[in-house]
């Protein structure tokens, strides 16, 4: 019981501190020249903090047991205090070993996927757009995570590849008549080429120097897009085509000789159809890429990326060619960023250079760092949090940045290495350890 | 049988002459130690052999099963006018220039460890050894992505070999621990195991016993001797612990001021007056 009492006391303290903080921020009102005060809002906020801390304090030991690999057996064995506890724990461990955990993980994944697939049919158009944007940031995060998180190459110009993908779709449509489906792989490839192009001159650079050069590269791409008016349309931007459903358009009145989606299926025209479709395509691409990255991490190439992050000289001493490994990381990350760009252009229907400022690079980098460098799950989670949280906080308008800042500070205190600590892949025959 | 022969190796850093006309040979299946006072150029020799420095001149030949190979050529030396002809020679030099580098030397069969341990600290012990075995896997990315049978078999073999080495180096309890969390002695052993996982014909150990206590040093000495006697590895060693050197070496090369001052069996070197002078200083006039 002492554990629960401790959590309770801890929560009370936290709530008290929260009250002290929130009172001047939200409780004091300036009414003309008079200062009035109110207690309801600060009290409510402090109450919320209390509940959250209490909940966290009670749930955390559970998670701790879970993560320590003991699963249920650890919990149960710790509550047994007798002679038989060891055998009971052993029995439970045998029953709820790694297979149980993987079962939980797989069913959790399926459940998540079901929710994600059914989401667009439940959401309005506004939230659907938010969800699409969130998934685009998931893609960007995954791409940058390869470069920064796995290969350890600090890239501040990642937005360049995003822009290459987006403009690949828009300009490909304008100049070459490419549609979304052709542009999707081509945009990725084009971005990969740009990744290699950037990679070559920076092969010998590390850390800060690399960051500066990549930052410059990002700006160069943006400036070229902005100033090469004849080709890119300059600041006026270019319109981008929308994906077709196996050749069927999503417009109310299709071009002559074409059939529209709603006509083919004989349903009333709905403006939201196209967004649902785009979301679902984006979702499947994201899931596919998450799978690919998961596999890559267990392959020689992925392991070489991580080894390169840890120690380049040691890599060379083992016969790993750092040039190839670095370029492949740049290319792979850039390709994923480019695919994200294609989706961005398609979802907006229009691109112009203002969407590709340094702010975007910083945001994507924040996603990767918040997620825990190198962790795929963490990156996905952070991308969702960073894009969706501000939308929820719109109601708080004035306190939005405050809450966001608080969340950041909290993270740095409790999770300085990111939301999710990258889990090392373990190998079946390694269970002897 | 000579495995490695170093001839007239010169290494200049600007005006500084780090090595001058260093020559020695390493016999197959033997332990050869490089010793000498601090700053004698031992690690420089190592870095030249393993390709981390590009020697100014000289030759380092490694005899492989399929013939001799000149390690300096693998580094992609700067092109000169003499290289332009004949075309085949030019092509070889250009290829070496494009794809050359110290990793090629490792692929030729020379593995090394470092004076300051360089492990992949965030990766587990097993993963450290798997990284070293990257050449065991095919280069087909698709096979890995879909998890083809061939890929899984290669992975299984790599894991099995890694576990075998971990057991050999008494690290079997640390399989899934990040390498950075291991104790110092364990890290030293893991680094040697990792070098061995590249399947080398020559293993260069840079002060493997540095920072180890007497028991651990004795264990390392035993291990090195076993590697040579049972696994047919050839070892080139830098070490300051003279007891270790004298105990396991077949041949000793003594360096001082970038020059070889003595060569021979441990017993010979121990009584060589020039070696004593280099280590202890001389009375009266110098030896040279």
Residues of B in contact with A422 (CB under 8 A): 122
Lowest mean pLDDT among A93-97, B126-130, B189-193: A93-97
Q: Do B134 and A429 touch (CB under 8 A)?
A: no
Whole-number pLDDT of residue B282:
64
Is B140's Cβ below 8 Å from some Cβ in A?
Answer: no
Chain A to chain B, count of Cβ pairs less than 8 Å apart? 124
Mutate to test the interface with A, among B53, B121, B122, B143 (most CBs of A within 10 A): B122
Mean pLDDT of A328-332: 95
Predicted confidence (pLDDT) per residue in A356-387, tens digit: 988 889 889 988 988 888 888 889 998 998 88
Is A150's Cβ below 8 Å from some Cβ in B?
Answer: no
Options 3.40.50, 1.10.238, 1.10.3470, 1.10.10; CATH for A114-414 is 1.10.3470
C-alpha to C-alpha distance for A337 and A165, rounded to whole angstroms? 7
Six-digit token pair at A384? 């969702």
Residue B285 confidence (pLDDT) above 60: no
Top-ranked range on mean pLDDT: pick from A65-79, A94-108, A317-331? A317-331
C-alpha to C-alpha distance for A356 and A232, rounded to whole angstroms? 14
Mutate to test the interface with A, among B107, B114, B123, B192 (most CBs of A within 10 A): B123
Helix H or strand E segment including B243: helix B242-248
Q: Do B131 and A307 touch (CB under 8 A)?
A: yes
Q: Do A425 and B172 touch (CB under 8 A)?
A: no
Q: Do B131 and A430 touch (CB under 8 A)?
A: no
Q: Do B118 and A307 touch (CB under 8 A)?
A: no
Beta-sheet pairing, B2-13 with B16-27: antiparallel
Residues of A in contact with B195 (CB under 8 A): 317-318
Opening angle at CA A260, ends A255 and A266, nearest 5: 145
Residue A205 confidence (pLDDT) above 70: yes
Six-digit token pair at A422? 């990258």
Mean pLDDT of A187-214: 89
C-alpha to C-alpha distance for B114 and B121, rounded to whole angstroms? 14
More confident residue, A42 or A432: A42
| DSSP structural state of residue B178 | B
Q: Which of B132, B145, B173 sits opposite A295 (nearest CB)?
A: B145
C-alpha to C-alpha distance for A370 and A384, rounded to whole angstroms? 11
Name the residue of chain A whose CA is nearest to B128's CA: A307
Predicted confidence (pLDDT) per residue in A89-134, tens digit: 444 444 445 566 677 778 888 888 888 888 888 888 888 999 999 9
Beta-sheet pairing, B57-64 with B251-256: unpaired
Is A4's Cβ below 8 Å from some Cβ in B?
Answer: no
Is A204's Cβ below 8 Å from some Cβ in B?
Answer: no
Whole-number pLDDT of residue A203:
79
Six-digit token pair at B176? 């899934």
Whole-number pLDDT of residue A82:
40
> Distances in Å between the alpha carbon of A176 and those of A166, A182, A230, A234?
15, 11, 15, 18
C-alpha to C-alpha distance for A298 and B151, rounded to whole angstroms? 11
Q: Which of A319, A323, A429 sits opposite B106 (nearest CB)?
A: A319
Task: Report the mean per-residue pLDDT for chain A.
Answer: 82
Residues of B in contact with A327 (CB under 8 A): none
* Domain residue limits, chain A: 2-71, 114-414
C-alpha to C-alpha distance for B136 and A320, rounded to whole angstroms? 12
Q: Do B119 and A295 touch (CB under 8 A)?
A: no
HEC string of chain A equals CHHHHHHHHHHHHHHHHHHHHHHHHHHEEEECCEEEECCHHHHHHHHHHHHHHHHHHHHHHHHHHHHCCCHHHHHHHHHCCCCCHHHHHHHHHHHCCHHHHHHHHHHHHHHHHHHHHHHHHHCCHHHHHHHHHHHHHHHHHHHHHHHHHHCCCCCCCCHHHHHHHHHHHHHHHHHHCCCHHHHHHHHHHHHHHHHHHHHCCCCCCCHHHHHHHHHHHHHHHHHHHHHCHHHHCHHHCEECCCCCECCEECCCCCCCCCCEHHHHCCCCCCCCHHHHHHHHHHHHHHHHHHHHHHHHHCCHHHHHHHHHHHCHHHHHHCCCCHHHHHHHHHHHHHHHHHHHHHHHHHHHCEECHHHHCHHHHHHHHHHHHHHCCCCHHHHHHHHHHHHHHHHHHHHHHHHHHHHHHHHHHHHHHHCCCCCCCCCCCCCHHHHHC
Q: Do A425 and B145 touch (CB under 8 A)?
A: no
Is B187's Cβ below 8 Å from some Cβ in A?
Answer: no
Q: What pTM was computed for the model? A: 0.79
Which residue in A132, A124, A139, A383 sits closest to A243, CA to CA?
A132
A114: phi then psi, degrees, rounded to nearest 5:
-60, -45
C-alpha to C-alpha distance for A31 and A22, rounded to whole angstroms? 19
C-alpha to C-alpha distance for B105 and B48, rounded to whole angstroms? 10
Q: Do B144 and A296 touch (CB under 8 A)?
A: yes
Q: Do A318 and B177 touch (CB under 8 A)?
A: no
Lowest mean pLDDT among A17-21, A83-87, A142-146: A83-87
Contact B124, B194 (CB under 8 A): no
**Contacts (Cβ under 8 Å, ≥6 apart) of A57:** A7, A10, A11
Lowest mean pLDDT among A146-155, A423-432, B267-276: A423-432
Peptide bond into B207 cis (omega under 30): no
Q: Which residues in B77-107 are b (16+ Cβ under 10 Å) and which e? A: eeeeeeeeeeeeeeeebeebeeebbbbbbbb
Name the residue of chain A whose CA is nearest to B204's CA: A317
Which residue in B196, B190, B197, B237 sits closest to B30, CA to CA?
B237
Q: What is the DSSP string of B80-140?
A: -GGGGSSHHHHHHHHHHHHH-SHHHHHHHTEEE--SS----TTSBHHHHHHHHTGGGS-S-
Tell me, rounded to whole angstroms, the distance of Cα A181 from its chain centroid. Answer: 24
Is B99's Cβ below 8 Å from some Cβ in A?
Answer: yes
- ipTM, 2 dp: 0.88
Say what percent of chain A tops pLDDT 70: 88
Predicted confidence (pLDDT) per residue in B47-100, tens digit: 999 988 888 888 999 988 888 888 888 877 666 777 777 777 777 777 766 666
Which residue in A293, A148, A314 sits closest to B179, CA to CA?
A314
Contact A420, A149 (CB under 8 A): no
Is B82's Cβ below 8 Å from some Cβ in A?
Answer: no
Q: Do A310 and B137 touch (CB under 8 A)?
A: no
- Could you say which residues from 310 to 349 on chain A have a Cβ atom under 8 Å away from some Cβ of chain B? 310-311, 313-323
Closest-CA distance, B15 to chain A, in angstroms, reads 25
C-alpha to C-alpha distance for A193 and A221, rounded to whole angstroms? 14
Predicted confidence (pLDDT) per residue in B9-55, tens digit: 999 988 888 998 999 999 999 999 999 988 888 999 999 999 888 88
> Distances in Å between the alpha carbon of B17 and those of A363, A421, B22?
51, 48, 12
Q: Do A429 and B102 touch (CB under 8 A)?
A: no
Closest-CA distance, B206 to chain A, in angstroms, reads 13
Residue A432 confidence (pLDDT) above 50: no
Q: Do A311 and B118 touch (CB under 8 A)?
A: yes
Q: Do A307 and B163 touch (CB under 8 A)?
A: no
């Amino acid at each position: 019981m002492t554990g629960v009492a401790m959590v309770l006391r801890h929560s009370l303290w936290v709530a008290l501190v929260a009250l002290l903080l929130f009172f001047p921020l939200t409780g004091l009102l300036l009414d003309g020249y008079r200062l009035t005060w109110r207690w309801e809002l600060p009290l409510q906020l402090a109450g919320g903090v209390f509940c959250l801390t209490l909940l966290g304090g009670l749930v955390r030991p559970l998670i701790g047991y879970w993560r320590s690999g003991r699963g249920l057996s650890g919990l149960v064995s710790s509550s047994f205090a007798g002679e038989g506890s060891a055998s009971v724990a052993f029995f439970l461990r045998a029953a709820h070993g790694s297979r149980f955990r993987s079962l939980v993980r797989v069913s959790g994944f399926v459940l998540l996927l079901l929710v994600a697939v059914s989401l667009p049919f439940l959401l309005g158009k506004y939230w659907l757009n938010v969800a699409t944007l969130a998934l685009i940031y998931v893609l960007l995060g995954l791409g940058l995570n390869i470069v920064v998180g796995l290969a350890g190459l600090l890239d501040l110009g990642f937005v360049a590849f995003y822009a290459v993908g987006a403009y690949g779709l828009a300009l490909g449509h304008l100049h070459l008549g490419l549609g979304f489906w052709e542009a999707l792989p081509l945009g990725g490839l084009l971005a990969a080429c740009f990744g290699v192009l950037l990679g070559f001159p920076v092969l010998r650079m590390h850390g800060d120097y690399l960051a500066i050069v990549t930052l410059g590269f990002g700006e160069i791409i943006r400036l070229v897009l902005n100033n090469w008016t004849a080709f890119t349309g300059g600041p006026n931007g270019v319109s981008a085509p929308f994906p077709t459903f196996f050749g069927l358009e999503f417009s109310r009145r299709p071009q002559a000789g074409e059939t529209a989606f709603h006509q083919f299926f004989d349903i009333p025209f709905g403006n939201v159809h196209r967004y649902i479709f785009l979301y679902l395509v984006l979702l499947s691409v994201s899931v596919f890429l998450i799978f690919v990255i998961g596999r890559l991490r267990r392959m020689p190439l992925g392991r070489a990326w991580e080894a390169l992050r840890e120690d380049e000289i040691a890599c060379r001493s083992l016969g790993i060619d750092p040039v190839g490994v670095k370029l492949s990381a740049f290319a792979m990350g850039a390709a994923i960023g480019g695919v994200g760009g294609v989706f961005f252009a398609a979802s907006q229907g229009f691109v112009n250079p203002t969407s590709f400022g340094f702010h975007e690079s910083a945001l994507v980098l924040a996603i990767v760092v918040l997620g825990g460098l190198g962790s795929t799950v963490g990156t996905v989670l952070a991308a969702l949090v960073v894009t969706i949280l501000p939308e929820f906080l719109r109601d708080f308008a004035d306190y939005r940045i405050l809450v966001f800042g608080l969340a950041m500070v909290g993270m740095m205190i409790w999770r300085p290495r990111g939301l999710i600590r990258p889990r090392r892949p373990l190998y079946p025959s390694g269970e002897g350890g | 049988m000579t495995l490695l022969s170093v001839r007239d190796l010169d290494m200049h850093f600007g005006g500084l002459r780090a090595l001058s006309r260093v020559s020695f040979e390493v016999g197959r299946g033997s332990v050869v130690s490089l010793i000498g006072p601090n700053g004698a150029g031992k690690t420089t020799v190592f870095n030249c052999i393993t390709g981390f420095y590009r020697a100014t001149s000289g030759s380092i030949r490694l005899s492989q099963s399929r013939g001799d190979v000149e390690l300096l050529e693998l580094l992609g030396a700067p092109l000169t006018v003499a290289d332009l002809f004949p075309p085949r020679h030019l092509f070889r030099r250009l290829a070496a220039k494009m794809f050359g580098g110290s990793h090629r030397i490792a692929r030729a069969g020379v593995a090394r460890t470092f004076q300051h341990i360089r492990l992949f600290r965030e990766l587990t012990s097993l993963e450290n050894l798997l990284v070293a075995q990257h050449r065991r896997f095919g280069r087909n990315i698709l096979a890995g992505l879909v998890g083809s049978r061939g890929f899984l078999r290669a992975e299984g073999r790599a894991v099995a070999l890694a576990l075998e080495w971990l057991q050999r180096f008494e690290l079997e309890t640390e399989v899934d621990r990040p390498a950075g969390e291991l104790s110092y002695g364990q890290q030293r052993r893991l680094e040697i195991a990792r070098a061995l996982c590249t399947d080398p014909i020559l293993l260069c150990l840079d002060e493997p016993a540095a920072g180890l206590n007497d028991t651990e040093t004795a264990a390392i000495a035993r291990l090195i001797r076993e590697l040579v006697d049972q696994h047919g590895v050839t070892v080139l060693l830098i070490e300051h612990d003279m007891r270790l050197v004298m105990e396991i070496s077949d041949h000793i090369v003594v360096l001082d001021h970038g020059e070889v001052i003595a060569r021979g069996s441990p017993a010979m070197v121990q009584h060589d007056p020039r070696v004593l002078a280099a280590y202890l200083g001389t009375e009266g006039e110098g030896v040279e």
